[in-house]
Amino acid sequence: GPCASTKESNPSNIVNNPNVNMSIGPMCSSTEIKKDWSDHALWWEQKQQWLLKPSWTLDKCGIHADARLCLTPQHKPLRLVMPNLATLRLRVCFSSPMFHTVIGICKLLNIRHPEELSLLWPVEEKKKKKQKDADVNEVYDITSAPLPTSRWLDSSRSLLQQGVKENDKLLFRFKYYSFHDLEPQSDAVRLTQLYEQAKWAILLEEIDCTEEEMMLFAALQYHIGKVSLTEQLVATCPAMDDLDSALQCLELKMEEEYSAEEMLDTMTAPELHDYLKIFRPKKQTLKKYKQFWFTFKDMSISYYKSKEESCKEPIQQMNLKGCEVAPDVSVATQKFCIRLLIPEPEGMNEVYLRCDNEQQYSKWMAACRLASKGKTLADASFSTEVQSIQSFLAMQRTSSSNKAAQTDESINTHSLVSPRYQKKYKPKQLTPRILEAYQNVAQLSLTDTILKFLQIWQALPDFGLSYFVVRFKGCRKDEVLGIANNRLIRIDLGVDEVVKTWRYNTMKQWNVNWDIKQVRFSVASVS
């Protein structure tokens, strides 16, 4: 827009008068330009600051005669790259804090819970070098790409304050890994974009998964691609929404009444008892599992030499509150293990539990997950968690009756699996495995398939980790700090290993100094 010191607009007689307020009307009328100026405001270039209080005088704002003020629209075009890689060109507010800008974007796109999303800069594209041989396949090198979380914009500052210009390209992404309820009736756009972001996180190997999980993700993607040709995520009518809400309230009320009537029965939390095998990995030792009698009570696991000795003191008792729980499963080889990282004063205690079958694994895995979140077996979500784990295992189960369908269709495997498995297997090897997994999800609707994809994604061990390049005090090299919902992780880039873990439940205090960009926290007696 025109600047206060230019000859074209020539409103210097107003701008240089410290006793005149910043109302845009008199200034624009002096330019004799017929235009709607209602969206315009003054931008102070030297201070990188918007002047949005028209009742204030220039003197009150601290503006002197040498100040360069630009009269510019508050809403400007912006190119927005969605999680599904579609680019939208829309007008957004450049003068409000970015959080309010995101709210406006979500309102325009009909996306609920805008606090889940944010804007970030795209990765700078390298200039492509000319190929000497035109027949050589082009290789896209993304190894030097910066970490995504280092490019997030500040939600408290406006776009113009952060160097965003008109028609710039920004990425629109879900920033936080804690999502509000997903309702297909009213979250069609939100559900689709969240699925797209999860899909690309899997394909670009931003989050690790096992080979069987990758084949299941590929099968779900393949099914979504097929079903989306005939189905769409659409909202139901308001009357049906009201009926669903009424039924949910009635169900909740009945559950509360039931809880009141059965309160005495639930005073004692249920327990799990069974024979399991345990293994504690140590360097330069072979994996050797030993069988013991295990009990799961409250949020702790205890084990004994035998069932008969369970009335005595246990060999060991492990409190799982705040621990890390990860599956180590292969349905094809009937391997059902649970990996536990239990916080202890001297560090993390790594333990593997091995179950005999799917049913046993589902119950103990569900119990461990709830305990890590501070919940007992009496929690209402226990049965749901068990069913979810069993459903996930069923999807990975192969059937001899499905083998006939393995070669019925040809699929583009490169769009369904990550580069790691593209290098490991040929397309003719991947196709039957993906189609085999597809038989277990072929009957799901589009909505159920997307929800199942997101559910499995959120159950991955590394889900919810955001990485930042940092430098610790006293160190001369950059390292990576991983932030999860229950811990901080220090990663050495030289060896690509976790060298330290800090649990939130062991933190005494923490402090953030935005001016010098420093974070300090103290855990136990170490700061």
- Within 10 Å of residue 367's Cβ, how many Cβ atoms? 27
Q: Give the model confidence (pLDDT) of 71-94 as tens digits.
A: 999 999 999 999 999 999 999 999
Output the 3-class SS for 431-482: HHHHHHHHCCCCCCCHHHHHHHHHHHHHCCCCCCCEEEEECCCCCCCCEEEE
Of the segments 52-56, 186-190, 239-243, which one has the largest average pLDDT value? Answer: 186-190
pLDDT range class, residue 457, cuts 50, 70, 90:
very high
* 3 state DSSP class of 302: strand
Q: Give the model confidence (pLDDT) of 256-283 as tens digits.
A: 444 444 444 445 568 999 999 999 886 5
Q: Strands, DSSP E only, in 252-389?
A: 272-279, 290-297, 300-304, 316-319, 324-330, 335-344, 347-355
Q: What pTM value is reported for the model? A: 0.73
Residue 101 reports pLDDT greater than 70: yes
pLDDT at 405: 46
pLDDT at 276: 95
pLDDT range class, residue 243, cuts 50, 70, 90:
low
Of the segments 202-216, 338-352, 493-507, which one has the largest average pLDDT value? Answer: 202-216
Q: Give the model confidence (pLDDT) of 381-417 as tens digits.
A: 899 899 989 888 888 776 544 444 444 456 889 899 9
pLDDT at 148: 45
Contacts of residue 385, defined as CB under 8 A and 6 or more positions apart, other chains included, come to 366, 369, 370
